[in-house]
Chains A and B, each alone.
Chain A
Amino acid sequence: MTWYFLRRLLLIVPTFIGITILVFVITRFVPGGPIERMIAEAQQASLQSGGGQQLGEGGQTLDEDQLRQLEEYYGFDKPVLVSYWEWLLKVLRLDLGTSTRYSEPVWDTILERLPVSAFYGIMTMLITYFISIPLGYWKAIKHNSHFDHASSFIVFVGYAVPSYVIGIILLVVFAANLEWFPMGGFYSEDFEDLDSFWQQAEDILYHAVLPLLAYVAGSFAVMTFMMKNALMDNLAADYVRTAIAKGLPFRKAITRHALRNSLIPIATHFGNNISVIIGGSFLIEKIFNIDGLGLLGYESVVERDYPIVLGVLVISAILQLLGNILSDICVAIVDPRVQFK
């Protein structure tokens, strides 16, 4: 078992290199980049200053020398693989480079957003599990009842409507019209002035209600039905009949015998959730104006801020790879039949 997981951990290295090299190469060949963006900005600036005299030099705001300096600065003067190698060496020293847009270390930018995304991710996951497992349990036991049908309807609506649409509806109804909740943001502007930890926590939760609803609405359908179907299968299983024939009351036969078997597929899903969830949904972050990793990644792609794009990629790739291994560990914990060699 230990050997198996050791091997899985070692396999992260080539996978990681594969993922990053692919994205790194793509960033080189996609039109547009930090230099082009800078040129455009400089043109914009000179147009606004009403000048136009500098445009006389062949329509270029930057001369050859400056361009070469910039290329050298961003590492564009070397072949792709050489600069990838240099980037990789820096990553190994935990240096993700400097953002071309903010001129700040990428690490700082990411670390600033990570807690926000992690908060939403972990909360969404906890709420999803706390709703899905009991709901799926009750739906399985009350199969074909009014409760089952009504909850299925709600679950399917939540699944069918995209989460950003739910987000917008929630915003319009509960923030704009009813004014029960704030319009967006992670916390209030006077957050720093709040005295106690509890007031700060309350402020964050107050801001989190609507976005969390939007996140959860989309994610609990799959889990709920996975739970319900797994439990229904197990309720009909022979060993549950054995347990009842042994003298266990029906309810106890479920909670002691069927439930644990039904959690196996849920456990398989667990690791995958972690990576997806910490990545966040840039659409929901955008709607609710939350500065999370999803939004950061999306904006840096649009702005061709490659160091940040690659930085976000590094974080999410490692989380995804570790998440997969975590899934396997979870499955091995709940299902003794699973043996890794």
Chain B
Amino acid sequence: MSASSRPLLEVRHLATEFDTEQGVARALDDISFRLEAGETLGIVGESGCGKSVTSLSIMRLLPKPAGRIVGGEVIFDGQDLLQLSPDAMHGIRGNRIAMIFQEPMTALNPVYRVGHQLEEALLLHKPELDERQRRDACIGMLEKVGIPAPERRLKEYPHQLSGGMRQRVMIAMALLCDPDILIADEPTTALDVTIQAQILQLLRDLQRENGMSIIFITHDFGVIAEICDRVVVMYGGRIIEQAEILELFDHPLHPYTRGLLQAIPKLDTEPKSLLKTIPGMVPSLLDFPPGCRFQNRCEFAEPRCREETPPLLGEGHQVRCFRAEEFR
């Protein structure tokens, strides 16, 4: 893919703030990335690094009134989503950009039948379909996501399905209107490993079929490796590195990324040897150190890191570190 052609989605200098009891927390700071048509972009980072807030900001689903977008642009299909009227945004959500979440156990409404909740998306975005067509579309989609006996499932309630089945229903619901982008916010985190593998395979298959782009949010590099074309690594509300998947795994540049990759246990490491970890804790969003946000945990930090914020530099493989050149 060439960087010059217009991407499907381009996030530019996005900044988001949250009001908290202790003051205003900047949850996202200068987030910029591109998503090309048909590609899968991974966003990876620890809890609280802003990866979920990024997806909620794109969808304009931040919890109100605590959270708000304070700057930047989200250009989708030539228009800035942040400038759209609420009504126009309703037409985008679930239709052009759909989303699935981490907790399939609670993401479906317990008091409505699966069929009702599926059809709701069609009623909203494809009002021209009649009842029969809606039903057929739902059954077809449930079949596609690998749910056996879909006619029967339509009449069941969410509590009658297993966790993996529910996530499949969520995926079916998200894909009913054939969206351009699917944002998957840790969709496999709550599932056990075999189901996780099935869901990832399913997403890959569906993507091949309908050519959608996926933004895949996770804290699990293993999942990233399986599904993503490109990766954005976030720390403390900032992007600290982004690169093609193989490039990132082979030549991680930021000390944080390197630390994360080293912390993954490998099959060829000595059994019972000590796992490498990153020392210290992620500071709260309210008291990040000035300069580079990772400097207080970084073994390569130098005086300049405490004073200036390093810029995100590089073509293709971008990194936010003064000393990145030393690791290239």
Binding site for B on A (CB under 8 A): 237-239, 241-249, 256-257, 260-261, 264, 334-337
In the assembled complex, the CB of B279 is this many whole angstroms from the nearest CB of chain A, namely 34
A242–B112 alpha-carbon span in the complex (Å): 13
Q: Is the CB of B125 within 8 A of A337?
A: no
B95 — which chain A residues lie within 8 A by C-beta?
247
Cβ-Cβ contact count across A and B, 8 Å cutoff? 74
Q: Is the CB of A247 within 8 A of B61?
A: no
| B211-252 vs A, Cβ < 8 Å mask (1 yes, 0 no) | 000000000000000000000000000000000000000000
In the assembled complex, the CB of A256 is this many whole angstroms from the nearest CB of chain B, namely 8
A300–B87 alpha-carbon span in the complex (Å): 65
In the assembled complex, the CB of B208 is this many whole angstroms from the nearest CB of chain A, namely 24
In the assembled complex, the CB of A241 is this many whole angstroms from the nearest CB of chain B, namely 7
Binding site for A on B (CB under 8 A): 59, 61, 86-87, 90-95, 98-99, 101, 103, 106-113, 120-121, 124-125, 157, 159, 170, 173
A257 — which chain B residues lie within 8 A by C-beta?
109, 112
A111–B93 alpha-carbon span in the complex (Å): 60
In the complex formed, the residue of B with least CB distance to A248 is B124
Q: Is the CB of B99 within 8 A of A247?
A: no
In the complex formed, the residue of B with least CB distance to A240 is B109
B106 — which chain A residues lie within 8 A by C-beta?
237-239
A245 and B110 contact, Cβ closer than 8 Å, known pairs A336-B157, A337-B159: no
5 nearest A-B residue pairs (beta carbon): A247-B94, A246-B94, A239-B109, A238-B106, A245-B99
In the assembled complex, the CB of A82 is this many whole angstroms from the nearest CB of chain B, namely 53
Q: Is the CB of A335 within 8 A of B94?
A: no
In the assembled complex, the CB of A102 is this many whole angstroms from the nearest CB of chain B, namely 51
Contact of A336 among B91, B92, B110, B124 (CB under 8 A): B110
A237 — which chain B residues lie within 8 A by C-beta?
106
In the assembled complex, the CB of A140 is this many whole angstroms from the nearest CB of chain B, namely 14
A239 and B108 contact, Cβ closer than 8 Å, known pairs A245-B59, A245-B98, A249-B90: yes
In the complex formed, the residue of B with least CB distance to A335 is B111
Residue with the greatest number of chain B CB neighbours at <10 A, chosen from A237, A241, A242: A242
B101 — which chain A residues lie within 8 A by C-beta?
238, 241-242, 245
Contact of B110 among A248, A249, A337 (CB under 8 A): A337
Contact of A242 among B87, B107, B113 (CB under 8 A): B107
A249 — which chain B residues lie within 8 A by C-beta?
86-87, 90
A339–B296 alpha-carbon span in the complex (Å): 55
A239–B106 alpha-carbon span in the complex (Å): 6
What are 23 A-B pairs at a CB distance below 8 A?
Answer: A238-B106, A239-B106, A241-B61, A242-B173, A243-B120, A244-B61, A245-B59, A246-B94, A246-B98, A247-B91, A247-B92, A247-B121, A248-B94, A257-B109, A260-B112, A261-B111, A334-B111, A335-B110, A336-B157, A336-B159, A337-B110, A337-B157, A337-B159
A334–B157 alpha-carbon span in the complex (Å): 13
A335–B159 alpha-carbon span in the complex (Å): 11
A246–B59 alpha-carbon span in the complex (Å): 11
A238–B56 alpha-carbon span in the complex (Å): 13
Contact of A246 among B103, B111, B159, B173 (CB under 8 A): B173
Q: Is the CB of A261 within 8 A of B110?
A: yes
In the assembled complex, the CB of A262 is this many whole angstroms from the nearest CB of chain B, namely 10
A248–B107 alpha-carbon span in the complex (Å): 15
B99 — which chain A residues lie within 8 A by C-beta?
245
A336–B55 alpha-carbon span in the complex (Å): 32
B108 — which chain A residues lie within 8 A by C-beta?
239, 242
In the assembled complex, the CB of A164 is this many whole angstroms from the nearest CB of chain B, namely 40
A246 — which chain B residues lie within 8 A by C-beta?
93-94, 98, 120-121, 124, 173
Q: Is the CB of A336 within 8 A of B94?
A: no
A256–B119 alpha-carbon span in the complex (Å): 13
In the complex formed, the residue of A with least CB distance to B110 is A337
In the assembled complex, the CB of B158 is this many whole angstroms from the nearest CB of chain A, namely 8
A260–B159 alpha-carbon span in the complex (Å): 16
Q: Is the CB of B109 within 8 A of A247?
A: no
Q: Is the CB of B111 within 8 A of A260?
A: yes
In the assembled complex, the CB of A31 is this many whole angstroms from the nearest CB of chain B, namely 55
In the assembled complex, the CB of A147 is this many whole angstroms from the nearest CB of chain B, namely 15
A275–B271 alpha-carbon span in the complex (Å): 69
Q: Is the CB of B111 within 8 A of A245?
A: no
In the complex formed, the residue of B with least CB distance to A247 is B94
A242 — which chain B residues lie within 8 A by C-beta?
101, 107-109, 170, 173
Q: Is the CB of B103 within 8 A of A238?
A: yes
In the complex formed, the residue of A with least CB distance to B102 is A238
A245 and B91 contact, Cβ closer than 8 Å, known pairs A237-B106, A239-B106, A261-B109: no
- Apart from A242-B109, A245-B61, what are 5 other A-B pairs with CB-CB below 8 Å? A243-B109, A246-B94, A246-B124, A335-B110, A336-B111
In the assembled complex, the CB of A335 is this many whole angstroms from the nearest CB of chain B, namely 6
A334–B112 alpha-carbon span in the complex (Å): 10
A256–B170 alpha-carbon span in the complex (Å): 18
Residue with the greatest number of chain A CB neighbours at <10 A, chosen from B90, B125, B170: B90
Q: Is the CB of A247 within 8 A of B125?
A: yes
A241 — which chain B residues lie within 8 A by C-beta?
61, 101, 107
In the assembled complex, the CB of B138 is this many whole angstroms from the nearest CB of chain A, namely 13
Residue with the greatest number of chain B CB neighbours at <10 A, chosen from A237, A238, A264, A335: A238
Q: Is the CB of B110 within 8 A of A247?
A: no
Q: Is the CB of B90 within 8 A of A247?
A: yes
